[in-house]
Amino acid sequence: MWKSIVSAAACCFACGGGAGAGSGTALWWRTCGAPACAQDAGVPDSGLQACSSQIVGSACSPVGEECDPHEGCSVYLLCSTTDPRAQYGGCPVSRMRFKKDIHYLSSDELRGYARDLLALPLTGFRYRSGDQRKRLGFVIDGHESLACVDGDHVDLYAYATMAVAALQVQAGEIAELREELAAMRAELKRRP
């Protein structure tokens, strides 16, 4: 499942380091993998060729090639001329010590992100270049102001966070509806 997401967004989510970052030399980089992963879930088959001689930081060809080092959590090696982390903000980390200006979202902010999430159209498409597989994803034209849009890409970590905001809003609405239903049932029982 994550293979198609990570492959399509490999240039958005990659980690690694080494000489040659931005030098034009194609090197192997480690991708971030899935934004959320159960460590004890085993290593699902990615459908990628297993890595053999590929080593992070070593020269590679062709650009865009991926292999699976079988590290789990949809972490792959990607052949690229730049460290995508430097270009797109890096792998998502969630510990407080890595962040600043933290504030917890208000109910109004959660509702706003839930509305934004529902406004982003889902599409089926094929890329104009590259493989011609039918894909499921986003067209962000006209939605550039959304928190999950980063240039020409959807920030999957921000998108998943917006989905959690929508779930929290829905959970609150469901709780309110349950309370109303319980009150109506109680009222009906009191009536002769």
Q: What is the pLDDT along the chain (192 residues), one digit of tens a residue?
A: 333 333 333 333 333 344 444 557 899 988 877 766 655 555 567 789 999 999 999 999 999 999 999 887 788 898 998 776 665 566 777 778 878 899 999 999 999 999 999 988 899 999 888 778 999 998 999 999 999 998 888 888 889 999 999 999 999 999 999 999 999 999 999 988
Range of the domain at 84: 1-90
Asked if 68 and 14 sit in the same domain, the reply is yes
pTM: predicted TM-score of the whole model, two decimal places = 0.58
Asked if 54 and 17 sit in the same domain, the reply is yes
Looking at residue 4, its pLDDT comes to: 36
3-state secondary structure of 5: helix
Report in angstroms the alpha-carbon separations of 55 from 26, 28, 59, 97. Answer: 12, 6, 8, 30
Residue with tokens 């929290």: 168
- Of 37, 60, 90, the residue that ends a domain is 90
Total domain count, the chain: 2
Residue 95: inside a domain: no
Q: For 15, phi and psi rounded to 5 degrees? A: -125, 160
162 burial via Cβ count (<10 Å: 0-12, 13-18, 19+)? buried
Looking at residue 67, its pLDDT comes to: 92
Asked if 67 and 145 sit in the same domain, the reply is no
- Of 90, 120, 145, the residue that ends a domain is 90
Report in angstroms the alpha-carbon separations of 91 from 1, 42, 68, 120, 162. Answer: 19, 21, 18, 23, 17
Between CA 163 and CA 92 the distance in angstroms is: 16
- Of 36, 70, 90, the residue that ends a domain is 90
CB atoms within 10 A of CB 171: 10
Looking at residue 58, its pLDDT comes to: 93
Asked if 85 and 112 sit in the same domain, the reply is no
Asked if 77 and 116 sit in the same domain, the reply is no
Which of 58, 70, 73 is closest to 13 using CA atoms? 73
Which of 89, 90, 81, 92 is closest to 18 using CA atoms? 81
Looking at residue 87, its pLDDT comes to: 54
What does the H/E/C string look like for 58-112?
Answer: CECCCCCCEEECCCCCCCCEEEECCCHHHHHCCCCCCCHHHCCCCCCCCHHHHHH
Looking at residue 26, its pLDDT comes to: 93
Asked if 2 and 85 sit in the same domain, the reply is yes
Which of 164, 163, 155 is closest to 32 using CA atoms? 155
Looking at residue 16, its pLDDT comes to: 39
